[in-house]
């Protein structure tokens, strides 16, 4: 299971933000995917995961603002599409698809709670 922590931080003295920190290989790519791609495109990303998990389609490749994801029935590979080609930096984060789908729900719920708590 992917360990995770939700971190509330100060952007300015009066403005806060929320981040997710995951404990897995190449977690920075997973964190980017959740923050920059899942939140703005939540509905269609969830729908694509659900189609693969339900067996309606074999796999699906999606692309967002920063990351692309190759969704398979067992594992999903997430790539940072903005990362420079670097032999020392592997931007691929491979995670269990079922677990990632649950993490997406949890993260979106946490962001909604954060927004309702810190709404002005």
Tens-level pLDDT at each residue, the chain (120 residues): 889 999 999 999 889 999 999 988 888 999 999 999 999 999 999 999 999 999 999 999 999 999 999 999 999 999 998 876 655 456 789 999 999 999 999 999 999 999 999 875
Q: Which helix (H) or strand (E) holds 17?
A: strand 16-23
Pick the closest to residue 70 from 84, 41, 49 (CA basis).
49
User: What is the pLDDT, as a whole number, of residue 91?
Assistant: 75
Distances (CA, A) of 26 to 8, 85, 103, 112: 22, 15, 16, 26
**Interior/surface letters 13-25, b for 16+ CB within 10 angstroms, e for the rest:** eeeeebebebebe
DSSP string, 54-108: TTSSS-EEEE-SSEEEEE-SSEEEEEETTSPP-TT----EEEEHHHHHHHHHHHH
Query: What is the pTM for the complete model shown?
Result: 0.90
Per-domain residue ranges of the chain:
3-117
């Amino acid at each position: 299971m992917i360990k995770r922590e939700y971190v509330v931080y100060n952007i300015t003295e009066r403005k806060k933000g929320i981040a997710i920190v995951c404990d897995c290989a190449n977690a920075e790519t997973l964190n980017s995917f959740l923050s920059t791609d899942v939140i703005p495109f939540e509905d269609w990303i969830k729908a694509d995961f659900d189609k693969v998990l339900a067996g309606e389609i074999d796999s699906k490749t999606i692309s967002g603002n920063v990351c692309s994801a190759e969704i398979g029935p067992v594992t999903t590979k997430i790539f940072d599409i903005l990362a420079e080609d670097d032999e020392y930096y592997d931007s691929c984060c491979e995670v269990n698809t079922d677990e990632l789908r649950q993490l997406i729900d949890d993260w979106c719920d946490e962001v909604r709670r954060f927004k309702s708590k810190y709404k002005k």
